[in-house]
């Protein structure tokens, strides 16, 4: 016989189980039955005959009284069973009475799991009776049941006298103020419970206060898990007061509550005297860099803290610097640090990486879902060359490209400690795959590597599959397509679905080996190789006044997310490849920002964060990239409040920061484009987005100086100050110069931070009335003071999307005439993506049919050789509503996928 000690019998036929049991004499048995309890009498007879079971797990969802009676009888006589799991069975009433009578007699059971049943107050009373007489039970799971205050009271009374139970889980039982007082009494009087789970019970400040009162005198609880509740700053204060002098607690888990910086200030005082707390979990709260400062300042050299989880907060680069300080000097002996999804940018990663290079205690670091990019990966690669303790590193979803992957590969040639590395959902292409795979052949420690990314093309998958076989230490390689056994499971991002056919039948197409491994060697994965079209296919998602999204500022975050996913799914379905997402409609933010207030159009209150907290820009970037869709963040440079809006401005709105440059113009509040402070602030906002989010582009529209209401824009004082400093331009040229300065500064700053991020502008479609000949209308050069032709001529942008919101035929604003003129201005080869008025299918006195849009797309395509490389539709709602059947027309036009046009200058 083997020396293995555990064997799980998982829903096997009874006759097979009999045969196995007859052959075994050295195994302890875990008997696991799911949805087969129609034979429960036979199973329990088997269980009774073979007394070697140590764990019995039954998930039937129909465990009636008769079956419970069979089960109870077997438990009365069994002398070896230690664990009984009866989860998800919905049993109640007489059935549980049979069971509790048996457990009172049983003298071996140590773990009882009744999660997700229908246990109410009566059943809780029966379980309480078990606790009063049973002398072996140590672990009790009762989460997701239906107990009220009375049921909790029964349990609490029993627990005050029980002397064996060490672990109690009451997850998801709707514990309220009254129930929490009963549990507080348990904490004060029970002398054995060491682990308490109260997750997902909607515990607020008052309930937390009662529990804290119990913890003040408790000297046994070592693990306290209060995840998924509603503990706010005040609740945190109550806990901190109770735990300040506690000498037993080792694990405090407060993940997914409503704790902010003020709450961390309270919590931090625990560490001034505490020498036992080893694990602190604060993931998924709303902690910023100030909270991290409070925490790091409080940590003493004799602090026992070794595991710190701050996943999905908002510590940013500043918070990362505070953490880097304690890592660099080894002040605290942290071994595990989880900083995933914290908006940490390049500067924060740089400081962290330097600290990690010198740290001698950290073994596990999670930085997934930040904005490391290739530059951040380079810093971490340098750290890996000198660090001697790190064994686990998570870098998934960080938009790391080949340059960063190459640096990591070189570091792995030197590093001799790392065993687990995750790089899922980055941007690994063939060269990166090649470098990385070669580096791994020399690495002697890596055991687990996760490269899972649905966009990994077959060439990379094939190369990794071959190379991984040469890496003797690698035991786990995670990538969907490396593991594919037929090429029909692999969707090549450029060539689509392949077919496993004879190689000789695929002479003029691409074929790849390693994807049809279950076939004979002459059978290969064949793709039809037709060069994919380069075409920008995008929609504007307008958030101002909730034009496109969200449907309402009062809609729940879950509904808003669902709406956003509907849009992305439709974009993907129609083989479009980009969205222009409005993130700054009026000196506000539809993303987490330390510079500007939350948008009124997101939450219904200017400056108020969404609750539950979420970040729309981070969400759409993540979800769009999963679908091969680019995200261009759309900003309005100068608008501080929109027409008709009446909400009060938050203190961080630009009009409040620079009130001397904020003017009421018509129904708007508009910032002065001539103020250097205003220009610089807009550039800073742009840099913040590019640094912290993996956006593919930055986009601004036609609002520079406002459209005239017939009155003079009130910037006389700013112009006078300019003249006083020796300026000689007339007022109109000065205004255009102000706008040009902003454009130049944005373009320069964007590419200094992330050279591959595209900068696009969508100006009003007519530069000057009368140019080209026959065109008439508003002159953006004279009315909005934007010299958009110069931007295109000088290459101060990467693409232009002139708003050609007119039909094809009227000569005064002819779509093809205007598009042709804009193409002629692109002296430096910048792309032109036409802006199309899809909204005119539902608005205006003369509404278009969908065929007008079809004709415009075809006209754009006819000028492709002159850099007319796509179309952007305003707005999303016409596409989503399928106005005039536009979806069917686009499905025909966009039948085949297209890739984003390549910009050779980037």
Per-residue confidence band for 784, with pLDDT thresholds at 50, 70 and 90: very high
What pLDDT does residue 486 have? 42
Looking at per-residue confidence, does 331 or 243 come out higher?
243
Count other C-beta atoms under 10 Å from residue 489's C-beta.
13
Looking at per-residue confidence, does 215 or 566 come out higher?
566
What pLDDT does residue 77 have? 65
What pLDDT does residue 317 have? 84
pLDDT at 479 over 70: no
Q: Exposed/middle/buried for 424, CB within 10 Å: 0-12, 13-18, 19+?
A: buried
Average pLDDT for 460-478:
51
User: Lowest mean pLDDT: which of 1-10, 163-172, 402-411, 884-893?
Assistant: 1-10
CA-CA-CA-CA dihedral for 306, 309, 315, 320, to nearest 10: 40
| Residue where the block lists tokens 């590419």 | 751
pLDDT at 45 over 50: no
Q: Is 118 helix (H, G, I), strand (E, B) or coil?
A: coil
* HEC assignment per residue over 327-386: HHCCCCCCCEEECCCCCCCHHHHHHHHHHHHHCCCCCEEECCCCCCHHHHHHHHHHHHHH
User: Lowest mean pLDDT: which of 625-629, 698-702, 725-729?
Assistant: 625-629
Q: Is 592 helix (H, G, I), strand (E, B) or coil?
A: coil
Distance CA 197, CA 213 (A): 17
Query: Would you say the pTM of this structure is higher than 0.75?
Result: no
What pLDDT does residue 107 have? 73
Per-residue confidence band for 6, with pLDDT thresholds at 50, 70 and 90: very low
- Strands 523-527 and 510-512 come out as antiparallel
What pLDDT does residue 11 have? 42
Cβ 819 vs Cβ 868: under 8 Å: yes
pLDDT at 181 over 60: yes
What pLDDT does residue 34 have? 36
636-647: pLDDT as tens digits: 999 999 998 999
Q: Which spans in 244-288 are helix H? A: 261-268, 270-273
Cβ 387 vs Cβ 353: under 8 Å: no
Q: What are the φ and ψ backbone dihedral angles of 501, each rounded to 5 degrees? A: -135, 175
Distance CA 896, CA 434 (A): 30
pLDDT at 823 over 80: yes
Q: What are 32's two structure tokens?
A: 């696991």
Q: What are 398's two structure tokens?
A: 């960080």
Average pLDDT for 171-188:
79
Distance from the Cα of residue 663 to its chain's centroid: 38
Q: What value, to the nearest 5°, has the Cα angle with vertex 354 and ends 353 and 359?
A: 90
CA-CA-CA-CA dihedral for 643, 644, 650, 652, to nearest 10: 0
Q: What are 461's two structure tokens?
A: 């998958």
Q: Could you tell me what percent of the chain has a pLDDT over 70?
A: 79
What stretch of H or E contains 622? helix 616-626
Average pLDDT for 496-503:
58
Strand spans (E) along 750-867: 758-761, 799-800, 831-837
Cβ 454 vs Cβ 427: under 8 Å: no
Looking at per-residue confidence, does 725 or 242 come out higher?
725
Distance CA 371, CA 906 (A): 20
Return the closest-CA partner of residue 633 out of 752, 757, 753, 792: 757
Average pLDDT for 115-131:
77
What pLDDT does residue 380 have? 92
Q: What are 420's two structure tokens?
A: 């687990």
Cβ 492 vs Cβ 526: under 8 Å: no
Looking at per-residue confidence, does 266 or 99 come out higher?
266
What strand order describes the sheet that includes 662-665?
639-641, 668-671, 662-665
Residue 210 neighbours by CB under 8 Å, 6+ apart: 177, 180, 181, 183, 184
Q: Is 759 helix (H, G, I), strand (E, B) or coil?
A: strand
Compute the chain's Rg from CA coordinates. Answer: 32
Looking at per-residue confidence, does 135 or 615 come out higher?
615
Return the closest-CA partner of residue 162 out of 197, 142, 186, 141: 186
Distance CA 259, CA 281 (A): 12
Average pLDDT for 424-448:
70
Per-residue confidence band for 426, with pLDDT thresholds at 50, 70 and 90: confident
pLDDT at 50 over 50: no
Most confident listed range (331-340, 374-383, 540-549, 809-818):
540-549
Per-residue confidence band for 530, with pLDDT thresholds at 50, 70 and 90: low
- Strands 167-169 and 195-197 come out as parallel
Peptide bond into 772 cis (omega under 30): yes
pLDDT at 421 over 80: yes
Return the closest-CA partner of residue 356 out of 284, 417, 285, 286: 417
Q: How many helices (H) and strands (E) does the chain have?
A: 31, 36
What pLDDT does residue 835 have? 98
Distance CA 145, CA 342 (A): 35
Average pLDDT, the chain: 82
Average pLDDT for 364-370:
88
Q: What are 104's two structure tokens?
A: 């009172």
pLDDT at 861 over 90: yes
Return the closest-CA partner of residue 691 out of 369, 345, 363, 389: 345
Q: What value, to the nearest 5°, has the Cα angle with vertex 882 and ends 881 and 887?
A: 140
Average pLDDT for 375-383:
89
Distance CA 585, CA 624 (A): 21
Per-residue confidence band for 43, with pLDDT thresholds at 50, 70 and 90: very low
What pLDDT does residue 742 have? 97
pLDDT at 163 over 60: yes
798-809: pLDDT as tens digits: 999 999 999 998
Strand spans (E) along 18-138: 28-34, 53-59, 83-85, 111-113
Q: What are 154's two structure tokens?
A: 């029964």
Q: Which spans in 24-93 are helix H? A: 40-49, 65-77
Q: Exposed/middle/buried for 868, CB within 10 Å: 0-12, 13-18, 19+?
A: buried
| Residue where the block lists tokens 């990467």 | 798
Average pLDDT for 692-712:
93
Looking at per-residue confidence, does 241 or 145 come out higher?
241
**Domains by residue range for the chain, with CATH:** 51-173 (3.80.10.10), 486-526 (no CATH), 536-636+675-894 (3.20.20.80)
What pLDDT does residue 48 have? 43
What pLDDT does residue 154 have? 83
Q: What are the φ and ψ backbone dihedral angles of 252, each rounded to 5 degrees? A: -125, 115
Average pLDDT for 89-96:
62
Per-residue confidence band for 211, with pLDDT thresholds at 50, 70 and 90: confident
pLDDT at 312 over 50: yes
Cβ 906 vs Cβ 756: under 8 Å: yes
Q: Exposed/middle/buried for 275, CB within 10 Å: 0-12, 13-18, 19+?
A: exposed
Q: What are the φ and ψ backbone dihedral angles of 546, each rounded to 5 degrees? A: 55, 40
What pLDDT does residue 301 have? 64
Per-residue confidence band for 59, with pLDDT thresholds at 50, 70 and 90: low
What pLDDT does residue 454 have? 41
The CB-side HSE value for 340 (13 A sphere, CA atoms) comes to: 19
Residue 514 neighbours by CB under 8 Å, 6+ apart: 461, 462, 465, 466
């Amino acid at each position: 016989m083997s020396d293995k000690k555990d064997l799980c019998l998982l829903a096997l036929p009874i006759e097979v189980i009999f045969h196995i049991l007859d052959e075994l004499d050295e195994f302890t048995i875990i008997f696991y039955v799911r949805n087969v309890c129609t034979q429960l009498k036979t199973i329990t007879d088997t269980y009774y005959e073979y007394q070697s079971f140590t764990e019995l797990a039954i998930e039937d969802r129909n465990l009636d009284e008769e079956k419970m009676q069979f089960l109870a009888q077997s438990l009365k006589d069994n002398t070896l069973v230690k664990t009984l799991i009866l989860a998800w069975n919905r049993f109640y009433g007489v059935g549980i009475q049979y069971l509790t009578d048996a457990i009172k007699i049983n003298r071996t059971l140590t773990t009882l799991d009744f999660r997700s049943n229908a246990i109410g107050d009566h059943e809780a009373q029966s379980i309480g009776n078990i606790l009063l007489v049973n002398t072996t039970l140590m672990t009790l799971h009762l989460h997701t049941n239906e107990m009220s205050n009375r049921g909790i009271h029964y349990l609490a009374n029993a627990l005050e006298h029980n002397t064996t139970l060490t672990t109690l889980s009451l997850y998801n039982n709707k514990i309220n103020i009254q129930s929490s007082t009963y549990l507080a009494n348990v904490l004060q009087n029970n002398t054995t419970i060491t682990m308490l789970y109260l997750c997902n019970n909607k515990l607020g400040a008052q309930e937390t206060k009662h529990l804290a009162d119990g913890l003040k005198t408790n000297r046994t609880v070592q693990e306290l898990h209060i995840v998924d509740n509603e503990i706010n700053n005040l609740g945190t204060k109550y806990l901190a007061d109770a735990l300040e002098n506690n000498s037993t607690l080792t694990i405090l888990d407060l993940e997914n509550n409503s704790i902010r910086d003020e709450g961390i200030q309270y919590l931090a005082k625990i560490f001034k005297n505490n020498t036992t707390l080893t694990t602190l979990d604060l993931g998924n709260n709303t902690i910023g860099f100030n909270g991290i400062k409070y925490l790091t300042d409080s940590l003493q050299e004799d602090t026992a803290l070794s595991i710190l989880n701050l996943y999905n907060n908002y510590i940013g680069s500043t918070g990362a610097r505070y953490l880097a300080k304690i890592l660099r000097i080894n002040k605290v002996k942290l071994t595990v640090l989880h900083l995933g999804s914290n908006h940490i940018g390049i500067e924060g990663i740089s400081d962290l990486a330097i600290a990690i290079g010198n740290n001698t205690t950290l073994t596990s670091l999670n930085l997934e879902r930040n904005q490391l990019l290739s530059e951040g990966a380079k810093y971490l690669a340098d750290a890996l060359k000198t660090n001697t303790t790190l064994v686990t590193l998570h870098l998934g979803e960080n938009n790391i490209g080949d340059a960063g992957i190459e640096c990591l590969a070189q570091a792995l040639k030197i590093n001799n400690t790392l065993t687990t590395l995750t790089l899922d959902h980055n941007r690994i292409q063939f060269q990166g795959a090649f470098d990385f795979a070669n580096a791994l052949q020399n690495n002697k420690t890596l055991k687990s590597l996760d490269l899972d990314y649905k966009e990994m093309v077959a060439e990379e998958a094939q190369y990794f599959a071959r190379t991984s076989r040469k890496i003797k230490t690698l035991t786990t390689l995670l990538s969907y397509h490396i593991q594919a056994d037929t090429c029909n499971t692999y969707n090549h991002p450029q060539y689509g679905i392949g077919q496993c056919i004879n190689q000789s039948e695929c002479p003029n197409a691409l074929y790849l080996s390693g994807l049809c491994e279950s076939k004979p060697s002459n059978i290969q994965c064949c793709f039809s190789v037709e060069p994919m079209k380069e075409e920008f296919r995008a929609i504007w998602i307008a958030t101002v006044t909730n034009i496109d999204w969200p449907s309402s500022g009062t809609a729940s975050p879950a509904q808003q997310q669902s709406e956003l996913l509907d849009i992305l799914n439709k974009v993907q379905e129609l083989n479009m490849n980009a969205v222009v997402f409005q993130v700054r409609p009026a000196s506000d933010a539809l993303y987490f920002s330390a510079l500007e207030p939350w948008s009124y159009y997101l939450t219904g209150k200017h400056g108020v964060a969404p609750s539950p907290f979420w970040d729309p820009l981070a969400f759409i970037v993540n979800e769009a990239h999963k679908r091969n869709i680019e995200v261009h963040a759309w900003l309005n440079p100068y608008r501080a409040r929109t027409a008709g809006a009446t909400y009060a401005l938050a203190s961080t709105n630009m009009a409040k920061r620079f009130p001397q440059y904020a003017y009421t113009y018509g129904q708007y509040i508009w910032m002065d484009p001539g103020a250097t402070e205003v220009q610089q602030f807009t550039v800073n906002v742009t840099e913040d987005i590019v640094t912290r989010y993996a956006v593919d582009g930055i986009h601004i529209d036609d609002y520079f100086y406002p459209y005239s209401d017939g009155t003079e824009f009130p910037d006389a004082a700013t112009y006078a100050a300019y003249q006083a400093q020796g300026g000689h331009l007339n007022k109109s040229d000065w205004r255009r110069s102000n706008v040009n300065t902003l454009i130049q500064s944005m373009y320069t700053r964007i590419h200094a931070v992330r050279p591959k991020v595209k900068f696009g502008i969508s100006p009003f479609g007519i530069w000057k009335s009368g140019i080209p000949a026959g065109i008439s209308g508003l002159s953006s050069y004279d009315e909005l003071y934007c010299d958009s032709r110069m931007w295109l001529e000088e290459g101060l942008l990467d693409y232009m999307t002139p708003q050609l919101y007119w039909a094809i035929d009227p000569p005064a604003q002819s779509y093809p005439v205007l598009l042709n003129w804009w193409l002629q201005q692109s002296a430096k080869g910048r792309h032109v993506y036409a802006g199309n008025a899809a909204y005119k299918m539902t608005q205006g006195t003369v509404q278009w049919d969908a065929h007008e849009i079809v004709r415009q797309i075809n006209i754009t395509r006819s000028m492709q050789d002159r850099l007319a490389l796509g179309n952007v539709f305003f707005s999303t709602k016409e596409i989503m509503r399928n106005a005039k059947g536009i979806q069917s027309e686009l499905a025909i036009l966009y039948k085949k996928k297209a890739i984003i046009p390549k910009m050779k200058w980037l």
